[in-house]
Amino acid sequence: MALVIENLTRRFGATEVLRGIDLAVADRELVALLGPSGSGKTTLLKIIAGLDWPNAGSLTVADEDWLARRPQTRETGFVFQHYALFPHMRVRDNIAFGLTVQPRPRRPDAAAITARVNELLQFLQIETLADRYPAELSGGQRQRVALGRALATSPRILLLDEPFGALDAQVRRDLRRWLRHVHEASGTTTIFVTHDQEEAFELADRVVVMGAGRIEQIGRPDEIYDHPASPFVARFLGHTV
Ligand code: ADP
């Protein structure tokens, strides 16, 4: 397993936001965390990234205790809905950023950084945007660049929090297809947060339905759609119960 979470709990004051989460994600899998607003999806993602800490439970990646690792060394890449690109940097420099700030032993030299950025620009089909500034890009183009920046360091786990949430329906559909292709070609283990069931079902190998800090159901999209495990899941999917 790429990532294993056991009995993870997070409280803010008296509120239990994550109540004993158990989740295992396989190598190269694309898993969607699906649930209504406030169900704990972002908190779980932040804990994986090292931007937040659980009160109890364990998190291992490739059998290594990740809670013992500092966030900078966790080898995650992330894209958030409003995690803006650096406005004063061209697209190619935005993508290079993660490589240039890596700790010494891992940091590639300038030529290797340029080569990696060119490779990513081509892979993500955004070569024509390389010398633009973020203000000269559409919302969808910006999120493609943000994904390039997240992938630049070849992360073990890619974390995407509502990355297409602010975009209109047609752009979202295009980006979904594109992300599916990028995922298949790169093979990066990916956790994708969304409250949009169509997005989760179309993108994910497995869907994790969350409600009020618990996992309500985990399964392939068709399994969840055909056999909701609880009235909560059925209601959330819009089935009449
Ligand atoms: P989701 O991503 O599913 O919308 P979140 O993980 O953002 O859910 O939030 C889950 C709950 O945790 C919400 O009720 C939210 O208000 C609460 N919460 C999140 N972060 C904090 C924080 N730093 N302090 C207090 N409460 C928080």
- Residue identifier of the C-alpha nearest atom 1 of ligand 1: 38
CA distance 183 to 139: 20
Tokens 């950023």 belong to 97
Q: Across-strand partners of 60?
A: 4, 65
- Residue identifier of the C-alpha nearest atom 12 of ligand 1: 17
Pocket test for ligand 1, best of 12, 46, 48, 214 (most atoms within 8 A of CB): 12
Can you give the pLDDT at residue 106?
A: 74
Q: Is 37 close to ligand 1, i.e. is its CB under 6 Å away?
A: yes
β-strands 15-25, 76-80 pairing: unpaired
CA distance 95 to 85: 9
Tokens 């209504």 belong to 36
Q: What is the pLDDT along the chain (241 residues), one digit of tens a residue?
A: 899 999 999 999 999 999 999 999 999 999 999 999 999 999 999 999 999 999 999 999 999 999 999 888 888 999 987 767 999 999 999 999 988 887 777 788 889 999 999 999 999 999 999 999 999 999 999 999 999 999 999 999 999 999 998 899 999 999 999 999 999 999 999 999 999 999 999 999 999 999 999 999 999 999 999 999 999 999 999 876 6
CA distance 64 to 192: 22
Can you give the pLDDT at residue 240?
A: 66
Pocket test for ligand 1, best of 43, 51, 161 (most atoms within 8 A of CB): 43
Can you give the pLDDT at residue 239?
A: 77
Give whole-number Cα distances, 176 to 18, 163, 199, in Å: 28, 10, 7
Can you give the pLDDT at residue 103?
A: 73
